Amino acid sequence: MNNGQQIIRTIQEKERGMLSFFEAEKDIPFSIKRVYYISGTPAETIRGKHAHKTLKQFLFCPFGEILVFLDDGIREWEVLLDAPNQGLFVTEEIWHEMHWKSDGAILCVVASDYYDETDYIRDYQDFLKYVKEKKDGNCR
């Protein structure tokens, strides 16, 4: 099962720390148009709670722990981001919620497109309806 988890290439040196990297269109299967990050977030905070119609994103947490809940309308799964070499693809049409497990954990995101509010689905029932309609349309 592909749950979106992806190891980020990392060079670890004994005393100088870890250097992690990825390259657009090589490690990440899209060209990166936007980078954003969330900081200063207390533990127990929940963010996200939406899906995107077309946007593809790659999430990583270089500091702290964030538990991501994902739902494609059929199955639900979760991925813990708790190390700088852990990444997670959240493709289009996936409901996602990020739960902060440690104070100040940093969520970094690279995205396939510019910010566009019309690409969001912010209501869970609308999301289920959207994916069902897409699926039924594809079956015809």
Q: Report 93-122 residues binding ligand TYD (CB under 6 A).
A: 115
| Residue closer to ligand TYD (CB basis): 9 or 47 | 47
- Tell me how far apart the alpha carbons of residues 17 and 62 are, in angstroms, rounded to a whole number: 12
Q: How many CB atoms lie within 10 A of CB 75?
A: 9
| Residue closer to ligand TYD (CB basis): 107 or 131 | 107
> In the set 20, 32, 34, 113, which binds ligand TYD (CB under 6 A)?
34
Considering the rule CB under 6 A, would residue 62 count as an interface residue with ligand TYD?
no
Helix (H) or strand (E) holding 62: strand 57-63
Choose the stretch contacting ligand TYD; rule: CB under 6 A; options: 13-21, 22-30, 47-55, 62-70: 47-55
> In the set 47, 53, 101, 134, which binds ligand TYD (CB under 6 A)?
47
Q: What is the DSSP string of 74-113?
A: S-EEEEEE-STTEEEEE-TT-EEEEEE-STT-EEEEEESS
| Residue closer to ligand TYD (CB basis): 63 or 115 | 115
To the nearest 10°, report the CA torsion of 30, 35, 39, 42.
-40
| Residue closer to ligand TYD (CB basis): 34 or 53 | 34
What residues have CB less than 8 Å from 36, skipping those under 6 apart? Answer: 108, 109, 111
Q: Find where tokens 């979106």 sit.
A: 4
Q: Which two tokens stand for residue 32?
A: 């990166």
> How many residues make contact with ligand TYD (CB under 6 A)?
6
For the bound state, the minimum distance from the C-beta of residue 78 to ligand TYD, rounded and expressed in Å, comes to 17
Q: Which residues are catalytic?
A: 50
Kindly list the residues in this chain that would bind ligand TYD in the complex (CB under 6 A).
34, 36, 47-48, 50, 115
